[in-house]
Structure 1
Amino acid sequence: MKTDKRIAKENSTRMLITLLIVMLTIVIIAASLIFWFTAKGNALLYQFIFLSSIILLFILSISIAITIFAMKLLWYNKKVPSFIKIIMETFIHISYPFINILGKILKYDKNTIRRAYTQLNNQLVLSGDYSLQGKEILVLTPHCIQISSCPHKITNNINNCKRCGICKVDSLIELQQKYGIHFKIVTGGTLARKIILELKPRAIIAIACERDLLSGLMDVKRIPILAIVNQRPEGPCVNTQVDIVEVEHAILHFIKE
């Protein structure tokens, strides 16, 4: 089952590139103004402060430019050098608060921004090669994937599921049995972090809403995560669903064939 490793050419990706270009423009203008003021000043401390600011802004502008360039490479399914991946991964964690503020000013939907970040993360992970065993992979999903009318509590033990097939839990258990992966249903980020510390997976497939996925990506920095946005036909946090084929694609990307 071949996984498409190209970055998704949808509005959220285009929007993120636009925001990065705007951010780069602002940084260049700020650096130019600081340089101009520095040239006018005479005090040594004054010049040191402003020159330090210019250096920081220069590093930031290079990081933004590299990220835009790498996104274009991913867009056309080109290989991204490993050193660029490291820069991008660092930049993703640092830049989000600023991009979020810029998005609010330009009146972009916050979930669209979050989705763009999760897609960028996914494409970085998909551009890598892995050869893991099933037991080294953890699939995490929130408890809202279980149908709300179900009387069986499965957050502590998924074996309590009666496999009726009404919700997607049955299909996820089937993937667990097929590939030997870990599958856990959690009630929040605290429990998710606890499970990660206990199991120490080498790869994670996270299923959640845009907000929770981005929060998880910011918390977990040393484990590759493929983030899958859940489907919410009845609104947030109730009877959510997931594309099982997409989950299986993610497992197959990590697993040793």
Structure 2
Amino acid sequence: THVHLCLHSPKANLFLHRCVNNGDDTRVNTICTYRNNSTITPFDRVHVYREVSNQTNGITKLGIYNLDKTSLYVDEYHEPPAVPTGKPTTPAAPVSREADFTVNFTITNLRCRSGLAIRNTKTFNNTRNAVIYLLDRLLRNTRIGPAFTGCKMEPFSCVNNGDDTRVNTICTYRNNSTITPFARVHVYHEVSNQTNGITKLGIYNLDKTSLYVNGYNEKHTMPSVTPSSSQSPKPAIEHFTMNFTVTDLRYTPELSVPGSRRFNSSEKTLLH
């Protein structure tokens, strides 16, 4: 079983789960947050990947958990394990693997009802089908379209005291050398263009500041103000994703239920 555990800023929360290896292993997906300003070393996913690798004994051990050493991705960056050198062979055809990216946005003309936050209720299913249909059609018209295979909906979230509804999706694409690589900035811009500046998706009105593609968001331009000498620039908040598979945490359905005893226990340990 493959468990996707996602973290939201500023407080980390785990809410996305999926199964791998027939439930023997648990997939962990996180969105991590850092302050981004000129006084701090810029985020470099390659450096972070290699430092995580070093601190997990070659991507094999994280505290009490054993890791699949081929499973680590930092902001989609991944290094395949070294292959022993030998006689040259005929190059193999490119292998098509699937990779995930998240798309999140807020609908402002869909009042959040309790059934939207519970998977498989009639309200959840009907709304999910409508939103997924619109989102699938949109993404197939982007540059990732030829590789895009579909999106899955997580339970909706209530925002603004229930007046608005937050949409959380995990989308999948085929990742091989014959297809244009996934670039979250490009996909963000294309989604923005096709939703009229992040304002309209079919029958739904969108909060134009709410779009995130794999944690990427562009803050909308604010009116310029002459800076005061007493003011110092506030660091921007940025995100990066970290995904890996735990091989000695067997998946159970309870891991897919936020707030359950097993979910909370695993969340606390993994986030620590």
TM interval, short-chain normalised: under 0.3
Which structure has the larger Rg over C-alpha atoms?
Answer: 1
TM-score, with structure 1 as normaliser: 0.24
Bigger strand share: 2
TM-score, with structure 2 as normaliser: 0.23
